Amino acid sequence: MPKKPKARTEWWISHLRWGILVVTFLLSSQDPSQRANLLAVYGLLLMGALYNVAVVLLLRSRPVPSFFRQLTVGLDTFLLIAVTYVSGQPSYFLFLLFPVMVAALQFGIEISLLIASIVTSAYGGFIFFLQPWLAGGQGLPPTIVSILALFIGAAVVGLLTPRQKGAAPLAVAEHELPPSSAYRDRFRAIYEMTSELIATLNYQQILEKILDVSLAGFKEKARRDLQRPVSMVLFFNEEKDSLYVAASRNLNKTDELQEVKGKTGLVGQVVSTAEPATSSRPSADPELSTFSALRRCHSVLCVPLRAGLELYGVALFASPEVDPYGDAYVELITAFCNQASIALQNAELYQTLREERRRILFSDEELRKQLARELHDGPTQTVSSIAMRLDFVRVLLDSDPARARQELDKLERMAGQAVKEVRTMLFTMRPMILETQGLAAALEHYAQRIRETDNIAVHVDAQGLDRRPVPLVEGATFFILEEAVNNAKKHAEPQNIWIDLERRTGDLFAQVKDDGLGFDVAAVESSYDERTSLGLINMRERARLINGLLTIESRPTEGTTVTLVAPMSGDEEPS
């Protein structure tokens, strides 16, 4: 697990502390003038080594105490002042730059200058008046140089640190980070929401989870509306070429009706790059400034909602706080939104499957009703008529045998007609010849049955179809053409029906044309929600299943033409 920035800083400081201890040990060992005080210096260095070992152990055991940094700066200052005093060497005074610069890094320029002043005062009090090498001012120039270096180092490091980080000093940045427990709570909350997100297939619940995650990382100090974070999910409206508010938190009614083009500003940047981005001036954004709730916010995070190559829209999180979105938080929210996009895709697929299942069940019910109507209007009426005529024939057998024979001949013809009608219905439900001999043979067989049962001239021309389409295309095409012929029989009163089949490059061209009454296509399709028969809708749905294009052309008294163009393989769009 990678170390946090705060922990990394403390480790670097501990490494530098080891370096200072080693350098001091080597200088003291090689300087003959240090032999008198060598044991005292070694004792202080040993204490420093033990102290640094304790620091390393504390860094390994997380979390470290809250007063850790203040304590180490104080101990470093005390230890190096003691080493400088015991050694009696002015050059060791430069080692005191270490606690001064550490204070500048961790607490800013004010604290580092304060440490420099304390060090200088201690140095003046314990060394300047006690060391003989300063008698007569012999050691004064190097001491003044050391003191100046101390203050200059404190000022330079303290001033450069904010610019280097692009923000306040490290202590301020760390102060703005949430405590370790709160940080863990934030990750835990987002992790739990991610688990719930994966488990749901409800479109609205997914949007709510996206909005909930915007509150997981913020502890608002007040509950007033002006201090609440704002979040919204913007989805694409393909008809208007814009993005609309699909769900939101802390938006007023006017803002919820707003739409943005997604061409400029922060949203435009995220839409074009599909990468998250932040802004510190939403009120100056050309598109976001239209939302009144965002004008009181100082920071906005915009994350794309992308699953694979499909971009659904963007998620927008805004806060009245200044710079609340750290790199780790942005990465976490981006990962969450990616999961949300996949969940949206799954929910969309699930909804599509549910709609398809409902459509199949509805189509199955429609076919059952159609079969019942055809049975009632055809074979059932014929069989009922046969039953009544049989009673009549029974009476005629005694009174008029000759006429009884005539009636029996009529009954035979009626029974044969009923058998043909039932066989035709069975054929349209499961045309076995379609599977064995193909579409052209099946349509010719069907046309022959229509000629026999309905006395309509049906003409089939399939000479242009030089090879068979795939079975899926054959089955769907047969259903569409059979439905077109059946509609013509029932409603158009035609004398002739023409069925044409041919292959045009890689597409199947199929057409049914009649010379019947015709109808107003637009009027019929607009009133389909009031009709009990859904023949035209079923035809279009079958065409879509094979990536086909279905057109219906008709006018009153001018007949009807139904044309289907579909790829022979059923996979690609028709050319």
Please report, for the domain that includes residue 320, its CATH number. Answer: 3.30.450.40
**Domains in the chain, number:** 3
CA distances 323 to 177, 220, 378, Å, are 11, 14, 78
Claim to verify: residue 446 and residue 488 sit in the same structural domain:
yes
Regarding whether 237 and 124 lie in a shared domain, the answer is: no
Yes or no: say if 100 and 154 are a contact pair by the CB < 8 Å rule: yes
- Nearest CA to 334 among 304, 370, 292, 299? 304
Both 35 and 104 in one domain: the answer is: yes
Note whether 476 and 328 are same-domain residues: no
Q: Which residue has the tokens 């001239």?
A: 457
Same structural domain for residues 268 and 150?
Answer: no
- Kindly report the pTM of this predicted structure: 0.43
Q: Which residues contact 11 (CB under 8 A, 6 or more apart)?
A: 3, 59
- Phi, psi for 178 (deg, rounded to 5): -70, 155
Say yes or no: 106 and 238 in one domain: no
What is the pLDDT, as a whole number, of residue 148?
59
- Looking at residue 169, what is its pLDDT? 39
- pLDDT reported for residue 509: 95
In a domain, 382, yes or no: no
Cα separations in angstroms, 156 against 28, 77, 116, 249: 30, 19, 13, 46
Residue 477: the pLDDT is 93
Candidates 433, 420, 262, 231; CA nearest to 333 is 231
Tokens 């490290």 label which residue?
170
**Judgement on whether residues 271 and 225 belong to the same structural domain of the protein:** yes
pLDDT at 193: 65
Nearest 10 degrees: Cα torsion 71, 73, 78, 82: 140
Q: Which of 333, 307, 305 is nearest to 319 (CA)?
A: 333
Q: Quick check: is 376 in a domain?
A: no
Decide if 398 is inside a domain. no
Give, in order, the Cα–Cα distances in Å from 439 to each of 58, 231, 372, 385, 466: 82, 57, 26, 36, 11
Looking at the domain assignment, is residue 390 inside a domain?
A: no
Which structure tokens are listed for 325? 């979105």
Q: Is residue 515 part of a domain?
A: yes
Residue 41 identity: V
Looking at 143, 176, 209, which one is the last position of a domain? 176
Determine the pLDDT at residue 566. 93
Are 167 and 212 within one domain?
no
Quick one: tokens of 198?
């994966």
Say if 61 falls within a structural domain: yes
Could you tell me if residue 384 is inside a domain? no
| Residue numbers of the domain that contains 172 | 5-176
Of the residues 351, 375, 394, the one at which a domain ends: 351
pLDDT value at position 2? Answer: 42
CATH number, domain containing residue 438: 3.30.565.10
* pLDDT value of residue 3: 46
Same domain, 31 and 140: yes
The region that residue 46 occupies, defined by phi over 0 for left and psi between -120 and 50 for alpha, beta otherwise, is alpha
Residue 573, both tokens: 């769009």
pLDDT of residue 320: 84
Dist CA 403 CA 139 (whole Å): 152
Domain end call among 325, 351, 377: 351
Alpha-carbon distance of 172 to 162, in angstroms, equals 10
The DSSP symbol for 240 reads T
Measured between alpha carbons, how far is 283 from 344 in angstroms, rounded to an integer?
Answer: 30
Rounded to whole angstroms, how far apart are CA atoms 266 and 286?
Answer: 9
Question: What is the helix (H) or strand (E) element at residue 158, kind and residue range?
Answer: helix 140-165
The residue type of 542 is R
Predicted local distance difference test score (pLDDT) of residue 158: 52
- Residue owning tokens 């039953």: 387
My answer on whether 68 and 212 are in the same domain is no
**How confident is the model at residue 560, as a pLDDT?**
94
- Would 187 be classed as within a structural domain? no
DSSP 179: P
Tens place of pLDDT per residue across the chain (575 aa): 444 445 567 777 888 888 888 887 887 777 666 666 778 878 888 888 888 888 888 777 655 666 777 788 778 878 877 777 777 666 666 676 677 777 767 676 677 677 667 766 666 655 555 455 444 444 445 555 555 555 565 555 555 554 333 333 344 344 444 444 555 655 666 666 666 666 667 767 777 777 776 665 544 433 444 567 888 999 988 777 889 998 888 888 888 888 999 889 999 999 998 899 988 888 889 999 899 888 888 889 999 988 777 888 899 988 888 777 777 778 878 888 888 888 888 888 888 888 878 777 776 777 777 777 777 777 888 888 888 888 888 888 888 888 888 888 888 888 888 887 787 777 777 788 888 899 999 999 889 988 888 889 999 999 888 889 998 899 889 989 988 998 898 888 999 999 999 999 889 999 999 999 999 888 887 775 555 456 788 888 889 889 999 999 999 988 999 999 999 986 666 66
Phi/psi for 489 (5° steps) reads -60, -45
Q: Looking at the structure, do residues 168 and 204 belong to the same domain, yes or no? A: no
Q: Are residues 463 and 520 in the same domain?
A: yes
